[in-house]
């Protein structure tokens, strides 16, 4: 079995072969060990109102945001969030654990109605949070998000949506629930305008001996719903799937402005590290310093 190189949830060391440029080894993500969490149902009144500063991990742009804060809480059932016009929710050191099953389809889903097409104006911010959805089909169903040091893990898609979003130093881990099922650690089907910075993304093969793949991709970008414009992936770790990175347009719906730099793959995908479909499906690609973790062999541009 391949050695996982995702960020630790408990300060444990991770794979020594991970390049320093792409991973901060031993960094904890998710709710810090020892945090006392208050069991919570639905969405109570905020614990606080604060002004925080967001700093974009790639551009360095900053923005002060007034946020409604919930912190140190535990949910064991689905939470649906609908921020109002001009509202931003901040969840700090919160956990969603819906591994007990029940009627959950997502652990968290976010109504995008009042979202702006601007990464610096998220509807929901999660810092040092954990989302566990082992028995759900998808764990986080959301766009207009800002995620920092957050761990998302479950069956099928860990994060589905992600347009107009930023995720920095996070884990996204998906495990196929049955032979022939579909799972992506992160999947976008429309919109675009997102940044993934130093994430670990893993689509685990539940049945590696099966004739048909049980996971699709660590990161899957496709125009199932609408065209996608603006994809930035920097210093990511990718593992598993049929292809670990799959970017596919469905003409006339195309994927454009794709920037993939400084990323590292485990050599464990069923068919190969990258699939960009047929010529013309993906346009305006920036591709540099992408390679395998072990051995360091370069992964050439797929276009």
Q: pLDDT per residue over 88-128, tens digit each?
A: 999 999 999 998 876 677 899 999 999 999 999 999 999 99
157-173 confidence digits (pLDDT tens): 899 999 999 999 999 98
> What confidence tier does 25 reach under pLDDT thresholds 50, 70, 90?
very low
Listed residue (206, 190, 196, 223) closest to 119, CA to CA: 196
What mean pLDDT do residues 185-208 have? 88
Tokens of residue 47, six digits: 């614990």
Q: Which 8-state DSSP code applies to residue 280?
A: T
Rounded-to-10 torsion of CA 193, 53, 129, 2:
60
Write down the domain spans for the chain: 40-292
Q: How far is it, in rounded angstroms, from Cα 240 to Cα 259? A: 21
- Residue pair 173/202 in contact by the 8 Å Cβ criterion: yes
> What confidence tier does 212 reach under pLDDT thresholds 50, 70, 90?
low
Listed residue (182, 172, 169) closest to 142, CA to CA: 172
Tokens of residue 114, six digits: 């009042």
**pLDDT (0 to 100) of residue 14:** 39
> What CATH architecture does domain 40-292 belong to?
3 Solenoid (2.160)
Tokens of residue 105, six digits: 């389809």
268-298 confidence digits (pLDDT tens): 888 999 999 999 999 999 999 999 987 778 9
Q: How far is it, in rounded angstroms, from Cα 235 to Cα 293? A: 12
**pLDDT (0 to 100) of residue 178:** 56
Q: Across-strand partners of 176?
A: none
Say whether pTM exceeds 0.85.
Answer: yes
- Residue pair 167/199 in contact by the 8 Å Cβ criterion: yes
CA-to-CA separations, 51 to 54, 58, 71, 86, 185, in angstroms, rounded? 10, 22, 15, 13, 31
Q: How far is it, in rounded angstroms, from Cα 156 to Cα 136? A: 8
**pLDDT (0 to 100) of residue 8:** 54
Q: What angle do CA 139, 140, 144 make, to 5 degrees?
A: 175
Q: Could you identify the residue written with the tokens 């998808």?
A: 138
- Residue pair 7/169 in contact by the 8 Å Cβ criterion: yes
Whether 16 has a pLDDT exceeding 50, the answer reads no
171-187 confidence digits (pLDDT tens): 998 887 655 567 899 99
**pLDDT (0 to 100) of residue 294:** 75
Whether 6 has a pLDDT exceeding 70, the answer reads no
């Amino acid at each position: 079995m391949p050695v996982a190189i995702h960020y630790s949830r408990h300060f444990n060391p991770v794979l020594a072969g991970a390049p320093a440029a792409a991973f901060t080894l031993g960094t904890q993500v998710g709710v810090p060990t020892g945090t006392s969490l208050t069991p919570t149902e639905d969405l109570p009144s905020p614990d606080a109102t604060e002004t925080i500063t967001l700093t974009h991990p790639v551009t360095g742009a900053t923005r002060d945001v007034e946020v409604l804060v919930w912190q140190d809480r535990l949910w064991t059932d689905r939470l649906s969030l609908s921020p109002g016009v001009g509202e931003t929710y901040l969840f700090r050191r919160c956990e969603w654990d819906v591994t007990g099953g029940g009627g959950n389809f997502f652990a968290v889903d976010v109504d995008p109605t009042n979202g702006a097409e601007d990464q610096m104006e998220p509807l929901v911010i999660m810092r040092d949070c954990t989302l566990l959805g082992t028995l759900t089909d998808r764990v986080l169903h959301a766009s207009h998000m800002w995620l920092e040091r957050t761990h998302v893990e479950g069956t099928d898609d860990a994060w589905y949506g992600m347009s107009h979003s930023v995720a920095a130093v996070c884990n996204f881990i998906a495990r196929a629930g049955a032979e022939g099922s579909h799972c992506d650690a992160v999947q976008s089907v429309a919109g675009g305008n997102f940044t993934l910075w130093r994430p670990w993304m893993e689509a685990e093969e539940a049945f590696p001996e099966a004739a048909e793949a049980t996971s699709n991709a660590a990161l899957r970008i496709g125009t199932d719903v609408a065209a996608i414009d603006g994809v930035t992936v920097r210093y990511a770790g990718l593992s598993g799937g049929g292809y670990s990175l799959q970017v596919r347009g469905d003409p006339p719906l195309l994927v454009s402005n794709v920037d993939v730099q400084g990323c590292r793959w485990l050599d464990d995908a069923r068919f190969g590290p990258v699939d960009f479909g047929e010529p013309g499906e993906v346009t305006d690609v920036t591709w540099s310093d992408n390679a395998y973790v072990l051995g360091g062999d370069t992964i050439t541009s797929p276009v």
